[in-house]
Structure 1
Amino acid sequence: MIDILTWRAERERSVAEFQGDLALVKLHFVQGTTTFEDIPGVWEPLTSGTPGLKLTAAAADGLTIEGKPVDGTVILEADHTLVRLSERITLVATSQPGSDHLLAVYDAKADAVQQYEGLSVFPYDPSWCMTGTYIQEEEGRTAAFAHVSDQEGAGRMHQSPGDIHFEYEGAAYRLTPFASGDTLVIVFGDRTNGQETYGMGRMVNVIPEANGTVQLDFNYAYLPPCAFSPHFNCPMPPSHNRLPFRITAGEKQVRFRK
């Protein structure tokens, strides 16, 4: 694992990039043929179940991909193809569980980027690096996660191939992660939320070893994207991922100039 100081410096830098979390200013749902007042071109979803968008534009619209004007129809792969509108505005097709056809709008000079001062963090504490056990469930298992902008009681299904079990102060706990490539992402809450740390909870990544052992290092706990921009629709911790003790490790809050 990357050392903690390098990881923290990279986090502070990456969230303020031109496509960092602070720069997201809009997230559009594209349903059917869609046009926008402030974005040129005609936008369409790809077929159901296929993340990404189709863009039709003329060279005069001023949209470019890798420096070349968009003149005709192009397919935008989700989270891959970058469309530039201006020096500061970029557009990216993206997706979320239950929403395959989203258009993210990033502004490199958004107010949040301009006001950003950094991240507050807890001091590194090796006692918050714990050994746990990953118990894999049946192939293709999913788990429901409520999201920030969903209606009350709604949930979106994420791939969740197993659970992580660990002990703290003699008590046993179970965490349900969701899969992101080879990494398991744990959305968790604890007793610092809403006081020392971001109210919705935090995240931490683990990669199970072949024998099922996991290193659960809360020093690498990080703020979810919705802590940086209200336009993200982040998953919230399931009830059993809300831990009944304070985790004084990892990131706390985003710091802005007052």
Structure 2
Amino acid sequence: MLRRHLWMGFLSLGVGLVHAEHNASSKVSSTEPSATEVTRQAEQWQQQRLARLTAADGWLSLVGLDWLHQGDNRVGSAADNDIVLKVGPAHLGVISLAADGTAKIVLDENSGATIDGKTQHEARLIDDVQAGEKGKPTTVAFGTANFFVIERDGRKGLRIKDADAPTRKHFLGLDYYPIESSWRVVADWVPFDPPHKLEIGTVLGTIDKVDVPGKAVFQRDGHTFELLPYQEEPGGELFFVIADRTSGKETYGAARFLYAALPKDGKVVLDFNRAYNPPCAFTPYATCPLAPPENRLDIAVTAGEKKYRGSEH
């Protein structure tokens, strides 16, 4: 399931793409930003992107994704646990997963861990789906690390983060194509009523069906392209999961992500200078969506984030 992460922000997770750019001959209205302003905004966005990614609890801090089984799951860094953590106390506690999906934790008396910042012996674990878009899952913290429960396709797992993760401490930075105003595309928006269904695969091998509210249509190099987005929450931005001729070569092979503001006056702005890599480009512990066939562009989108130099996949 893709619901909110994708990506993630993924987590959380998203759909959408066909690439194009304004026709060189098309006129730019007086309300369109100048090339200098497009560059300034894109540079500001890149700085914010870097700050989110490298934050102590950002995607680079992921050190584990372990699935819970029904019943008791002993958790800790010692080898005799059911879930062996890369960091933390030898025996942190026991997570019990009921048949109805309810999870609770009972901490070991010597764990030194906290639950949502409080010292308590046991608590129910609210997962990311139960918490919803506005809430937060229950977080168990210990030292520089923490975990919370995620729900994916009916399965419950622990997403484990560590501020001292090697992927964060030895991060090699982000590489981008040069910013070009021509890659800020004003596309026509064609709404769907009712919304169309689109199947999105994930790195876990699962398939989700999402509602597509419409399509972005634009032209480039004499060809017409269409992008199919979905919304991760009602009224939220359009989320595109895209691939193109650079995928697997100059850019990450599975997909890149792109957000766009809601359509206005029948138009939607697609700034491909802000196309970026999903969490899976940096860590094997994320659950990212894959670009659907409908959003694989037969054109090289030489804009946005390039393949991560430190990626092993």
Q: TM-score range by the shorter chain?
A: 0.7 to 0.9
* 131-140 or 85-94, larger mean C-alpha shift: 131-140
Query: Which of 53, 56, 64 does residue 15 from structure 1 map onto?
Result: 53
Cα root mean square deviation, aligned: 2.6
Structure 2: how far apart are the matches of 1:69 and 1:231? 28
Native 8 Å contact 1:46 1:54 kept in 2: no
* 154-163 or 105-114, larger mean C-alpha shift: 154-163
Shift in Å, 1:70: 3.2
Percent of aligned positions with the same letter in both sequences? 26
After superposition, give the CA deviation of every residue in 1:184-207 in whole Å (9 maximum; x if it has no partner): 211111111122111222111112
Distance verdict in 2 for CA 1:91–1:45, change over 3 Å: farther
Query: Which of 270, 285, 293 does residue 231 from structure 1 map onto?
Result: 285
Distance verdict in 2 for CA 1:140–1:169, change over 3 Å: closer
- Secondary structure at the aligned position of 2:48 is classed as helix
Distance verdict in 2 for CA 1:210–1:130, change over 3 Å: closer
**How many residues end up aligned between the 2 structures?**
249
After superposition, give the CA deviation of every residue in 1:137-184 in whole Å (9 maximum; x if it has no partner): 24464321111231xxx5222333322222212211122222122112
TM-score (norm 1): 0.85
Structure 1: how far apart are the matches of 2:216 and 2:168? 36
- Secondary structure at the aligned position of 1:113 is classed as helix
After superposition, give the CA deviation of every residue in 1:52-88 in whole Å (9 maximum; x if it has no partner): x632214624331342123233242416135233222
- The structure with the largest alpha-carbon Rg is 2
Q: Which residue matches 1:172? A: 224
Q: Write out aligned runs for 1:123-138 (5 A).
A: 123-138=178-193
Native 8 Å contact 2:187 2:267 kept in 1: yes
Q: Name stretches of at least 5 consecutive residues in structure 1 with no aligned partner.
A: none
Native 8 Å contact 2:230 2:239 kept in 1: yes
Q: Name stretches of at least 5 consecutive residues in structure 2 with no aligned partner.
A: 1-37, 76-80, 85-91
Native 8 Å contact 2:65 2:157 kept in 1: yes
Higher RCO (CA-CA < 8 Å; seq separation 6+)? 2
Q: Which residue matches 2:139? A: 83
Native 8 Å contact 1:193 1:199 kept in 2: yes
**What is the one-letter code of the residue matched to 1:163?**
K
Structure 2: how far apart are the matches of 1:43 and 1:140? 39
Query: Which of 95, 117, 120 does residue 67 from structure 1 map onto?
Result: 117
Shift in Å, 1:106: 0.8
Native 8 Å contact 1:134 1:208 kept in 2: no
Distance verdict in 2 for CA 1:59–1:236, change over 3 Å: same
TM-score (norm 2): 0.71
Query: Which of 94, 97, 119 does residue 44 from structure 1 map onto?
Result: 97
Structure 2: how far apart are the matches of 1:46 and 1:225? 31
Structure 2: how far apart are the matches of 1:89 and 1:132? 44
Q: Which residue matches 1:162? A: 214
**What is the one-letter code of the residue matched to 2:199?**
A
Structure 1: how far apart are the matches of 2:94 and 2:250? 44
Shift in Å, 1:8: 0.9
